[in-house]
Amino acid sequence: MATQFFTSTSLMALLFFGLYQVAINRSHLGMRGARQRHSQVLGNTGFARVFKNFGVSRSKPFERNLVLVDQDIPKPRVELKYGAQREGRRPDTAMAKWRAHRLGMIIHFGLYSQAGGTWDGISYPSAAEFIKANAKVPDVEYDKLLKTFNPDKKAPKNWARLAKQLGAKYVVITTKHHEGFCLWPSKHTDFAVHSTPYKTDFLGEFINACEEEGLDVMLYYSILDWHHKSWRYALKDEDDRTEFMKYWKFATLQLEELLDRYPGVKGFWFDGTWDSSVKNNGYLTYELEQRLRKIKPDLVIGSRLRADETGARHFDANGQLMGDYEQGWERKLPVAPLENDWECVMTVPENQWGYHAKWSGHVKDSIELIEMLARCTALDGNFVLNIGPQGNGSIRSEEIQLIQEIGTWMDINSHAIYNCGTSGLEKQDWGWITAREGSTELNAIIFNVPVSGRLNMQLKKGEVIKSATLGGKNLQIEENGNGRYFIHIPKINYNTAFVIKLQIVDGKQTTTDAPKI
């Protein structure tokens, strides 16, 4: 009796701890949709761990109970004028194309690329594009970098070729980062490429090179601007507001200028909207987005631009996404598919975007990055790899090697990435599964090869594996009942991830042509 009491008490204590963890995660995740919040909580909270340790299945009844716990206190809906303008995923052709690409490249390049993370002999380990702020460089000194900005004229075409070699379908490039320097000859400022020895339109040359390679282009633009005299972090008085509105007009004119000069671009990738001057004046971001969409209705714009009238960013006060896809996944990935489209941007070292002469911390290899790409695809998201060219336009050898290795893998396995998304199946111990909508074929992307040579696979109820092929050769399939299978793979040394094509049929159809043992 004492043992039973102790067990019950312990279970209740652990249950309380799990509920506490759920509450903590709710506060961190904010008011996103209940289903999205639930999918993330299941993957990484103490609640899920508690019940896993006690052998409780994460069955559908249990999940329904968890949702009820997570939603037991209804929240009143906030009436918003400047919140989300749409619920659900954007269904048009332009968005479907962006979604189908799955793999992209983002390039950080500006005056900071010449400094390489060092100023006056001191190396700053943080993000290299923040060197002006980190080293507290005054404008009069920092602006001298204009005189030495003269990258190789071949750089734009070289970058486009490398993006193509990677297997990327779209490229994001920094037109203006926080430093305020513009890669195009803007008529609204002289702090731009036409004031450098390079003189010509670097951005335009790169966009043309990408279009020649069949790549879509997205333009990164920082709202935050350390160089413009009218930028304000906060609006403390009417003078601040007057100056900030001058800056906002400047930024608006620049964005319209970009669309006018480069009408083929597919969208904007905004940054630097976290200061109170922007987020506490959400109507400005709403009006700017509407203005840009009026010029080019099919623009793809992520969630970084918008704020509503309550100051909420990315997601409005009702938990609805503001923008066409989630942009909160910077150097991190979710654990389950999300309700919205989303994109992960990933650096090679831990936190270096622009060129830094000294990489520090963990540096990712190609297998690690390919697994992230597979995970993003399997969870219905896009994966974007960051590259930081040096000031002369060259790309460091380590990044070129990664591009080549990932590109070689994509040459063989891109069918498991492009136009693919979630399979609806849970992650397997050996890797990830992707599927193409409307197809009966699944792609099992193997990263962890079992010593036994048998892949354990769990399908949905009623589904049957008709065939499994690797490199065009049929593999043996062993059925274990209840939708569970063993797929026998050759016992060899694998030096990279590989893809097994699985043909899935309804259980009522014949499977006699599948090799069995």
Digit-coded pLDDT (tens) for 193-202? 999 999 999 9
**134-163 pLDDT, tens per residue?**
999 999 999 999 999 999 999 999 999 999
Q: Name the range with the highest mean pLDDT among 39-48, 168-177, 490-499.
A: 168-177
pLDDT at 47 over 60: no
Q: What is the pLDDT of residues 210-238, one digit of tens each?
A: 999 999 999 999 999 999 999 999 999 99
Q: How buried is residue 423: exposed, middle or buried, by Cβ count under 10 Å (0-12/13-18/19+)?
A: buried
pLDDT at 64 over 80: no
Q: DSSP readout, 370-400?
A: HHHHHHHHHTT-EEEEEE---TTS---HHHH
- Position 51 pLDDT exceeds 80: no
Retrieve residue 317's tokens.
Answer: 């006060």
Q: Residue 180, Cβ neighbours under 10 Å: how many?
A: 22
Q: What is the pLDDT of residues 329-345, one digit of tens each?
A: 999 999 999 999 999 99
Give bridge partners of residue 220 from the DSSP assignment: 174, 269
pLDDT by residue (tens digit) across 424-465? 998 889 999 999 988 999 999 999 999 999 999 999 888 999
Quote the radius of gyration of the chain (alpha carbons, Å).
Answer: 25
pLDDT grade for 206, boundaries at 50, 70 and 90: very high
Distance CA 325, CA 101 (A): 14
Percent of the chain with pLDDT over 70: 84
Tokens for 455, please give them.
């892949």
pLDDT per residue over 348-394, tens digit each? 998 899 999 999 889 999 999 999 999 999 999 999 999 999 999 99
∠ Cα 243 285 282 (to 5°): 85
Residue 323 reports pLDDT greater than 80: yes
Cβ distance 422 to 337 under 8 Å? yes
Indicate the length of the chain as a whole number.
Answer: 517
For 184-198, b/e burial (b = at least 16 CB within 10 A) is: bbbebbebbbbbbeb
Question: Strand, helix or coil at 517?
Answer: coil
H/E stretch holding 320 reads none
Q: Cβ(374)–Cβ(102) under 8 Å? A: no
- CB 134 within 8 Å of CB 117: no
pLDDT at 30 over 50: no
**pLDDT score of 63:** 33
Mean pLDDT (whole number) for 293-312 = 98
Phi and psi of 382, rounded to 5°? Answer: -105, 150
Which pLDDT belongs to residue 35?
35
**d(Cα 178, Cα 117) in Å, to the nearest integer?**
15
Residue 431: predicted pLDDT:
96
Reduced to 3 states (helix: H, G, I; strand: E, B; else coil), residue 489 is: coil
* pLDDT value for 350: 87
Model confidence, pTM = 0.85
pLDDT class of 44 with cuts at 50, 70, 90: very low
Residues 464, 501: contact at Cβ < 8 Å?
no
- Mean pLDDT computed over every residue of the chain: 87
Q: Name residues whose C-beta falls within 8 Å of residue 198's C-beta, 6 or more positions apart in sequence.
A: 149, 150, 151
Phi, psi values for residue 467, rounded to 5°: -155, 155
Beta carbons of 382 and 99 less than 8 angstroms apart: yes
pLDDT of 52 above 90: no
176-180, 290-294, 503-507: range with lowest mean pLDDT: 503-507
> What's the CA gap between 203 and 9, in Å, rounded?
65
Task: Give me the residues paired with residue 355 across strands.
Answer: none
Rounded Cα–Cα distance for residues 322 and 86 (Å): 8
Alpha carbons within 13 angstroms on the beta-carbon side of residue 99 total 22
The rounded Cα 166 to chain-centroid distance in angstroms is 17
Q: Say whether pLDDT at 511 is over 60.
A: no
